Amino acid sequence: MKRNELIRLLEAGEWNDIEFKEARSSVPKSAYKTVSSFANTHGGWLVFGVSQEGEEFNITGVIKPDKVQSDFLSALHADQKINHDVEIIEDRLNVDGKIVIIFQIKENTRLRKPVYLDGDIRRTYLRKGGSDYNARMPDIERLLRDATVDRWDGQAFERVDFEEALNQNSLHWYRDRFNRVNQGIDPEESDNEFLYHWGFLLKQKGEFIPTRAAVMLFGSPLAVHQLIPRPTLDLQFLGYATDEALPETRWIDRMVSEENIIQTWRQLISKYKFFMPKPFRDIDPVTLARRDAPPGFRVFREAAMNLLIHQDYGDHSRKAVIKFFRDGIQFWNPGDVFGDASRLMEPGEKEVRNPSIAMAMRRIDMCEQAGTGLRMMREEWQKLGHPAPTYKNDRSWKAFEFFIPELDKEVDMASDLMKAMFGERATESPTRLDDTVTPPVTPPVTPPVKRLLNLLNNKGDMGAKAIREALGLKDRTHVRDAYISPGLKQGLIEYTIPNKPQSRLQKYRLTEKGRSLIRKYYE
């Protein structure tokens, strides 16, 4: 870390990837909590020699730098302090005669989590915002599930007799599409032979036993309910935008599926065809053989499939949710990126949480080949003239969120459901944008977002702290939720470092859409 970078970090303050400690002559006990939290989440920088006064951070220096550094690293290498080795890169800076010690804590791999202190797994810490939090047992269990070598979906399921475990309708639907996509497969092969050949059945003492993947894909309602005591998917159609206040009527339509993945997908497609009828008649949702698919269907299909095949089905306290807002579609998954999150946009095979389920869907061309899905969705959606979809991989909550913006440009505004969601004004021509009148088709631009647009138009690229100071506001959460996040979701502003949303060097700038809005309505 260079001197100028440290100064920028001091000005920005503590957040999810930076922690300051005074550590004048000894190592503070709280430093080890930070090591655990960084190693369990996204990694980060731990800096000794910085004191805090109110919201200001000042370099005070470490009086005994050699001793403090040696004590800290020796304690971490001791067998009893932490249960897994953590990769640490140390450095020191001399700032105006004051010594600052800097430790870069790397995120541990999934196989080396959770990282906890003093041999007590209850002393597992997670990084949330600018603080280290003691993990709850459900948090620890999620880390432990992902740390196993044997994947959840490959394990045997014996809670229901084999004769009652599978839904024949779902299995035959799958086999029909499998035979269409894969040439040279014997269509006369029995169901049990087919399932055993492709790894969905195990043989124990001469008897077939389905895997968890078989139940999740083709299971009967009885088997699915015995395997996961929560819905497979919660689908909600909402009559408001992401930046609007929650109305009295929370949703216009809703589907909660407690069935297998195949049946859930078929229900989802029926709802989607009703919701997105421009044009969508006889297309096969698997092969996409017809040319009358809505332009954004490939993007939606990939996002929905990712949600269904990559979620943590061992997490019984949370469910996957798809929300159709007026201004976009939000996909929320229990379960973060299974492997190295830094390689999400790179081509090539990646670790997946449910490899059997994922391969089953790829064999029928239901989803993109491994390592291409996120890049495809970004590129295809932008080709249609929209802002790039955004995502948030939250290591602390073990969750993944994906958002497809500007839904209103893809829907048939004359449909009854659209009239219900957008109101009868949906087919009217927009007039002008001010604080009280907004175009009915475009998500409303709130006064806070307008202030932010004017600020970026006048000042250029700005970081979060600079925005707060320019607006005269101190509450980070308020500025993020009321100003920055709505601007991002509406495509009016964008990251200067789009592939690293959490970067400490992140700034925000106007998009072409934001500049056009400024020119049209604010000049």
Tell me the DSSP string of 276-325. Answer: --TT-SS--TTT--SS-S-TTHHHHHHHHHHHHHHS-TT--S---EEEEE
- What number of other Cβ atoms are within 10 A of residue 503's Cβ? 13
Residue type at 379?
E
Q: State residue 410's pLDDT score.
A: 66
Q: Which structure tokens are listed for 140?
A: 């620890």
Q: Tell me the C-alpha distance between 370 and 359, whole Å.
A: 9
CA distance 437 to 416: 23
Whole-number CA gyration radius for the chain:
26
Confidence band for 418, pLDDT divided at 50, 70 and 90: low
Q: Specify the pLDDT at position 428.
A: 45
- Give which of 385, 393, 396 is closest to 126, Cα–Cα: 396
Q: For position 478, what pLDDT does the model report?
A: 82
CA 110/CA 285 separation, integer angstroms? 34
Can you read off the two tokens belonging to residue 352? 């997946």
The Cα–Cα gap between 308 and 233 comes to: 8
pLDDT for the residue numbered 441:
40
Q: pLDDT tier at 435 (50, 70, 90 boundaries)?
A: very low
pLDDT (tens digit per residue) in 90-131? 999 999 999 999 999 999 999 999 999 999 999 999 999 889
Mean pLDDT of 139-147: 96
Output the six-digit token pair for 393. 């991989």
Domain limits, CATH 3.30.950.30, in the chain:
3-147
Among 120-129, 130-139, 414-423, which is the least confidently predicted range?
A: 414-423
Residue 487's φ and ψ, nearest 5 degrees, are: -65, -40
What is the three-class DSSP state of 53? strand
Burial 318-344 (b: 16+ CB within 10 A, else e): bbbbbbbbbbbbbbbbbbbbbeeeeeb
All CATH 3.30.565.60 domain ranges in the chain, comma separated:
233-409
pLDDT tens digits for 291-348?
455 668 889 999 999 999 999 999 999 999 999 988 899 999 999 999 888 877 777 7
Residue 419 predicted with pLDDT over 80:
no
Q: Give the Cα separation of 516 and 514 in Å (integer).
A: 5
Alpha carbon distance 218, 224 (integer Å):
9
> Running DSSP on this structure, what letter comes out for residue 124?
B
Residue 46 tokens, joined: 């731990």
- CATH 1.10.10.10 placement within the chain: 445-522
**How many Cα atoms within 13 Å fall on the side-chain side of residue 129?**
6
Measured CA distances, 344 to 292, 374, 411 (Å):
31, 7, 29
CA dihedral 456, 400, 132, 68 (to 10 degrees): -80
Q: To the nearest whole percent, how much of the chain has pLDDT over 90?
A: 55
Q: Which of 281-285, 391-395, 425-429 has the highest mean pLDDT?
A: 391-395
- Grouping H, G, I as helix, E, B as strand and the rest as coil, residue 207 is strand
> Which pLDDT does position 206 carry in this prediction?
85
Residue 263 to residue 277: CA distance in whole angstroms: 21
Pairing of strands 44-48, 18-21: parallel
The residues, ordered by sequence, that sit 6+ positions from 518 with a Cβ below 8 Å of its Cβ are 453, 454, 457, 510
pLDDT, mean of residues 241-268: 88
Residue type for 81, please?
K
Q: Given pLDDT bands bounded at 50, 70 and 90, which one contains residue 371?
A: low
* The pLDDT of residue 290 is above 50: no
| Res 473: pLDDT | 82
Chain centroid to Cα 436, Å, comes to: 34
Bridging pattern class, strands 131-134 and 125-128: antiparallel
Q: What's the mean pLDDT in 264-293?
A: 65
Cα separation, 124 vs 40, whole angstroms: 8
Q: Is pLDDT above 70 for 480?
A: yes
**Helices then strands, each counted (H, E), the chain:** 19, 18
Question: Domain 3-147: which topology?
Answer: 3.30.950
CB 179 within 8 A of CB 185: yes
CA dist 31 and 39 (Å) reads 12
- Mean pLDDT (the chain, rounded): 85
Q: What is the pLDDT of residues 148-196, one digit of tens each?
A: 989 999 999 999 999 899 999 999 999 999 998 888 777 788 999 999 9
pLDDT tens, position by position, 486-502:
899 888 999 999 888 88
Q: Which residue has the higher pLDDT, 369 or 99?
A: 99
Residue 140 in this model has a pLDDT that exceeds 50: yes
Residue 219: pLDDT band (50, 70, 90) is very high
Given a cut of 60, whether residue 147 has pLDDT beyond it is yes
CATH topology of domain 445-522: Arc Repressor Mutant, subunit A (1.10.10)
pLDDT at site 278: 55
Exposed/middle/buried for residue 163 (C-beta within 10 Å: 0-12, 13-18, 19+): exposed
pLDDT of 293 reads 59
pTM reported for the whole predicted model: 0.75
pLDDT at 498: 86
CATH 3.30.2010.30 holds for 233-409 = no
Residue 218 CA from chain centroid, whole number: 27
**Paired tokens of 339:** 């492997």
